Amino acid sequence: MLNRRPLSYYLLSTFFTAFLLFLYGPMICVYLLSFQGPEGGMSFPMRGFSLVWFETLFSAQGRGVGDLHNSFFRSIRLGLIVALLTMLIGVAAGMSFRRKYPGSNFVFYSAIASMVVPGIFVGFGISLTLRLLGLRPDWWYSGIGAQLTWSLPFAMLIMFIILGRLDKSYEEAATDLGASSAQRFQYVILPLILPGVIGIIMAGFTSSYEESARAGLNIGTGNTMPMELTGLLGAATTPVMFAVGTLTTLFMFSIVIATLLVSGSIAKRRQLRLTAH
C-alpha cells in the first residue's frame, strides 16, 4: 500500500539516475581529463596521469593560456560589486511591494521583461545607446549596469516571493510596539529574510560570473572569464581547458560551501541565542 513502493517508483528512480548521468557525464569527463598525461588528448583513453595541464595554466607568470589570469580577477571584481549592488537595490525593490502603490506593476513587469528579453538584445541596445551618446564603454559603469539588468530581476523576484509569504501583521505588530521603520526592518524583517538575502548575494555573484551576453559589448577593454573562455574554445586542442574547468569548479564549490557554512552558522547562532533565553 503506502509503504510498499509502487513499480512506478523504481522506474522513475532509474529514470532520474539516468538524467543525473546525463548531467554529470560531461562534467566527469572534464574533471578526469584535466589530469590527462602529457601525451594525451581531449578524448579518452587517459594516457597516464599528470598535473601538466595545470602547470601549463600557471606557467609564464600565469600567462600560460590566453589572458585567463587577468580575466579571472576581472570577473571576481565585477561579480563582487554586482552582488553587492544587486543585494541593496533588489532588496529595496522587493520591500516596496510590502505596500500597494501605483507603479508597482511597472516595477514587476519590467523585471519580467528584463528576464525574458534575450541577453544579446539588452547588451546590443546598451552599446548602441552609448555609441549614440558618444560614450566609450567601460566595466565600472556600463559593464556593471548591463549585468545588473540580469541579476536584479532575480533578486527582486526572490524578495517578492519571500516577502509575499511573510505576514503583513508582523510589521503592524512592530509598529504597535513603537518600532520606527528602520527598527522594523532591522529587528523584524531582516532576520526573517536573511537566508533569502544571502541567496541573492550568491545569485548576484554567480550570475555576473557566468554572464557575457549582456556585458560582452559593454565591458570595454579586457575580457571577463566567460568571454575569454569562449574565445579560447575554438582554438582548444589540448586538455588545458579541462584544467581550467576543474579549477573554476573547485572555486565555485568553495564559494557555495562557504555560503552554506555562513548561513548555517547564522542559523546556529540564532538557535543558541534562543536556547540561552
Partner 1 sequence: MKIDTEFNAKNLVPDTEAGEPAEGTVNRFDVEMVAVSKSYDGGARAVDEISLRIPKASYCCLLGPSGCGKTTTLRMLAGHEDVTDGDVLIHDRNVTDALPAGRGTSMMFQSYALFPHLSALDNVAFSLKLKKVPKAERQARAMEFLKLVQMEELAHRMPAQLSGGQQQRVALARSLITRPKVLLLDEPLSALDPFLRVLMRSELKRIQTELGITFVHVTHSQEEALALSDMVVVMNNGKIMQAGTAREVFEKPSNTFVARFIGGHNVIEFEGRTVSVRADKCRIVEAVGGRNLPATITSIEYQGPLVRINLVTDDRKDLCAVISDTRFFADPPEVGEAVTFSWMPDDEWAFGA
Partner 2 sequence: MMSPRAASWLQATPFAIIMTGLVIVPLAMIFAVSFMDYGFAEIIPEFYLGNWTDIFRSDLAVATYATVLRQAFIVWGVTLLLGFTIAYYLIYHVRSNFWRAIFLAACAIPFWTSGPIRMISWVPLLGREGLVNQALTGLNLIDEPISWLLYSEFSVIVVYINMLTMAMVGPIANSMAKISPAVVQAARDQGATEWQVITEVIIPLIKPGIAVGTIFIVTAVMGDGFLVRAMSGNQVNTPAVAIMNEINAFQFPPAAAKSVVLLVVVMAFVGVLLRLVDIRKELAR
Which residues, 1 to 60, sit near partner 1 by CB under 8 A? 1-3
Residue 190: Cβ within 10 Å count: 12
C-alpha separations of 52 from 7, 35, 67 in Å = 49, 8, 19
Q: Site map for partner 2, 196-235, x if CB under 8 A?
A: ----------x--xx-xx---x-------xx--xx-xxx-
DSSP state of 39: T
Our CA angle for 61, 62, 64, nearest 5°, is 105
Q: How far is the CB of 4 from partner 1 (least distance, A)?
A: 8
Residues 78-137 contacting partner 2, CB under 8 A: 88-90, 92-93, 95-99, 101-108, 110-114, 116-122, 124-126, 128-129, 131-132
Binding flag, residue 233, partner 1 (CB under 8 A): no
Residues touching partner 1: how many (CB under 8 A)? 3
Distances in Å between the Cα of 216 and the Cα atoms of 13, 92, 221 are: 41, 28, 10
- Residue 24 contact, options partner 1, partner 2, none, Cβ 5-8 Å cut-off depending on partner type: partner 2
> Can residue 182 be called a binding residue for partner 2 (CB under 8 A)?
no
Residues 45-84 that bind partner 2 (CB under 8 A): none
Instruction: Compute the distance between CA of residue 277 and CA of residue 272 in angstroms, rounded to an integer.
Output: 9
SS3 assignment, position 49: strand
Among partner 2, partner 1, none, the one that 41 touches (CB under a kind-dependent 5 to 8 A) is: partner 2
Radius of gyration of the chain (CA): 24
- Report what 124 binds from partner 1, partner 2, none; CB cut-off 5-8 Å by kind: partner 2
Point out which span in 48-56, 58-66, 242-250, 268-276 binds partner 2 (CB under 8 A). 242-250
Q: Which residues contact 223 (CB under 8 A, 6 or more apart)?
A: 67, 71, 74, 231
8-state DSSP, 136: P
* Per rule CB under 8 A, count of chain residues that contact partner 2: 94
Per CB under 8 A, contacts with partner 2 among 13-42 are: 13, 15-16, 19-20, 22-27, 29-30, 33, 41-42
DSSP state of 189: I
- Amino acid letter, 37: G
The span from the first CA to the last CA of the chain, in angstroms, equals 45
Q: Which does 272 bind (CB under 5 to 8 A by kind): partner 2, partner 1, none?
A: none
Contacts to partner 1 by CB under 8 A: 1-3
